[in-house]
Structure 1
Amino acid sequence: MKTTPECEIVTTRIIKAPRKLVYKAWTDPEHLKNWWGPKGFTNTFNTFDLRVGGQWSFIMHGPDMGNYTNECTFIAIREPELLVWNHQSKPIFQMEVTFDEISTNETNVTFKQKFGTAEECNKIRSFAPEKNEENMDRLEEELKIMH
């Protein structure tokens, strides 16, 4: 999906862990369900079929209230460097995650939420960057357990 910066929310972090392990945290549902989402969220995964055309269906449970249904379809997978999926429940966007090896124990993770219009992107821009950082914090905690 081609977009412009006003249609994207980008989160990048250098993670102190090998690329292969970081990729596993994103692709093994037993680990992914432990850290996916902002602080305080939990997940129920209904389907996690990691293949091009495969479905990822899950419910995020908010810490205060609310259950958020998520329906996704994987559209590109290149282990251990790339994951792309279409998020088909609202908000509608494409998620592109890259894993760039900096050294044997450092990985630069970039995730880009790409929206069809700047208007759609702006609906969540006020809170998504902060929540994405919480998501990355939780990823780092899960990686400590995975070593």
Structure 2
Amino acid sequence: MANQMITKVEGSVLVLERVFNAPRELVFKAFSEAEHLKHWWGPRGWEIPVCNVDFRPGGVWHYCMKCVDKNQGDFYGMESWGKGVYEEIVAPEKIVYVDYFSDAEGNENESMPSTRVTLTFDEHEGKTKLINRALYASPEALKTVLDMGMEQGISETWDRLDEHLQSLQ
């Protein structure tokens, strides 16, 4: 892979960075519209059968990821629901939201850590440098999601984002 994701842990904060060969406005749009998110959100072998986006401060993004890859063993057929509540949107520079594990009705799963995510989209030599700063309640909460394989999941998700962006240009 020519463009690897850079990962840094700073206490309770996970920082992920990657440069995408696409204009900033397009990368921002890929994070803000359901029609884009459905094509790339989630790790390989997972689809998004439900993706509702109310893209405004106070709005909610509610989605379901479903494993459709039989090679993923026990994960095959599994559904994972998530919910994001948007706090701040500055197009095309920044999106801030709180990310929760949820159920199909959008009720937050309080046994799982929530995350305050700040996405910044920086112009970078005609490309877009995406920086994801994920703030957890504690270093232990961050370790919980890292132990679940979240870093690999995001890396695969961003690979899929890169493929989606290339298909649009």
Whether the TM-score (by the shorter chain) exceeds 0.5 is yes
Matched, 1:21 2:26: yes
State the match for 2:166 in structure 1: 144
The answer to whether the Cα contact below 8 Å between 1:95 and 1:113 also exists between their aligned partners in 2 is yes
Return the letter of the residue paired with 1:95: V
Higher relative contact order (CA 8 A, sep 6+): 1
Matched, 1:91 2:113: yes
Return the letter of the residue paired with 1:49: D
| Counterparts of residues 73-112 of structure 1 (less than 5 Å) | 73-89=85-101, 90-104=112-126, 106-112=127-133
Change (3 A) 1:88 1:135: same
The answer to whether the Cα contact below 8 Å between 1:9 and 1:129 also exists between their aligned partners in 2 is no
Offset of residue 37 of structure 1: 1.0
Return the letter of the residue paired with 2:168: M
Offset of residue 46 of structure 1: 4.6
Partners of 1:13 and 1:24 lie apart in 2 by 17
State the match for 2:39 in structure 1: 34
Asked which structure has the greater CA Rg, the reply is 2
State the match for 2:104 in structure 1: none
State the match for 1:70 in structure 2: 82
TM-score, L = length of structure 1: 0.90
Matched, 1:122 2:127: no
Partners of 1:30 and 1:68 lie apart in 2 by 19
TM-score, L = length of structure 2: 0.79
The answer to whether the Cα contact below 8 Å between 1:11 and 1:111 also exists between their aligned partners in 2 is yes
Give the ranges of 4+ consecutive aligned residues of structure 1 lying more than 3 Å apart after TM superposition: none
Partners of 2:49 and 2:14 lie apart in 1 by 25
Partners of 2:58 and 2:34 lie apart in 1 by 17
Matched, 1:53 2:58: yes
Unaligned runs of 5+ in 2: 1-8, 70-75, 102-111
Return the letter of the residue paired with 1:80: P
Partners of 2:51 and 2:28 lie apart in 1 by 21
Offset of residue 77 of structure 1: 0.4
The answer to whether the Cα contact below 8 Å between 1:55 and 1:71 also exists between their aligned partners in 2 is yes
Change (3 A) 1:22 1:46: closer
Give RMSD over aligned pairs. Answer: 1.5
Q: Give the count of matched residue pairs.
A: 143
